[in-house]
A and B are shown apart, each in its own frame.
Chain A
């Protein structure tokens, strides 16, 4: 059998052509497989449940029925124990609110919410803006006890048209992953949006 012998002058740590070729192929395979691998956030993409307003939608851990959205330039809330005058919660844009009935179905927990605009921008609400008892953000729901409340979002007036309400189980979108994302069409077409913008009150009273 004709076996090619390693030249004596060649240091023992230097690879031969065949080894080098195999190593290069392995490297190429690693790069190709790594690029084809879905990203961490792609692997955790939620399962979207589409729906509309005035429609009960049941997700894995909660059920929701959202009402028609409203717009307002500011809210009036209680000033607190030491301040009898109402406090005005203003925004550089406009407030969009959605009243809803929400029910936890299996275990206690939170339902997170955000607005997704036509441009794909995501707006999240804050539990203290406006600080009112009906603000759903941060509220823990108990199974079998439906609660009526509202989500509040501030966004530029130009982003209202086409905005959709997205709801998910837990406070942090994207971190829990592989769960239902309820995507609600708020019916904000051009005509409805213009009508809501025209009718938006200078300040909506949320007190008491």
Chain B
């Protein structure tokens, strides 16, 4: 029975490449790489790594960006949640932020650069309407030394992500009733939420928060667009070494990748420790019984921050659209002085091929992921939960916590040795690793909360378990399945490093193209790929929501949410 083995296969696909890749990285870090004729362990790579100019700065900047991104994103989400919970603004924020989640990281980064650079949209507006400088000032905003632009780009993406995670956690925390009681005891909206609701939802947000932390520490694609260059952050430095024809640098890259892994592990440990301290002081604060917590100023701040995040995201998107149609667009014009369709026409052929690659990979990734996840969830239904919830979740989050570059480096060498580099199989394997967790997270709640009696009725009527699944449960869960598929596909489409490292030459995608083109500085072409990257996931989500309505238009109650 296929369902019986689903969890084992899922786990193997999820953890296998990560572990295999990590081993493939760990060995060369200590001088062992038989293909290069080195089998004597040594610490040479570490000595070389230590003597790299600017290494300490690279590490510090990575840490700075990782922690501040996580702290600020979490703070913004908590502020938004506290200030808007139970008001109409809450649904509004949800509806406004969800689309931002669908925009791939690289596209956001590209758009943000268009907006905040000294020759970008903001300075143009300032110059044109408020008497700002006639020429772009010589300010280091994008690619700044401390990674502030990088951080801003990450926050734009992490706020919607964490907010949706918060949203998912709220029902289980019984937040509505808790707030009613808190309010009736005289707590203010903010104080009540922070003291009663937050402590209940945070444990469920912990893993997503750690994933944000790990991502911020190890991100490559966004850093290539917005990050510092003198020196670059550690993960970008590693990528540079991997791409160097001097194979000796592979050892240094491996050592650096291990360092990256240690940094992430250490950072997670530090975060959990600080969490405990916060908990200690937080408890004292909660027990203090104060009924208010800067009620008015917090709500004003939430409004301002929320509007700012949205405005920057919208501005970035707008800038991308404008550049893709721009012909001449000189500083300080706020709009292009001439528009043209030539940018799009010129890129159409190439873009179509890349789109086809992206969609094929995404569809296969999403489909495999969905099948496996359905298998796992169905096994739960048939045989009961097979493992403690928290262990399962940690395993599920493993690909999101381990830095991509740390295991992809080892995996790349393995694919070449096995002769499967540049193959569809290799891309698929790496993409599934990253898409699976999201598909699982998205589908598990609706699946588990489905009324078990539908299945019982079907079984009582003589249906086999498989028939009960295919004829009764799956059609009812179609909407959730399609949503999970769309999420899986969106994750796949946004992947840069896995595609780049195992199959960039044969399976280029719109995302690898966007990053390659961003090195060229042609904003028009870059804008086209950033826009395509955004449109495809949007189309996916739109389909996922409209398809059930069309398929079940004759069945009452199944077409809509």
Do A and B belong to a common assembly? no
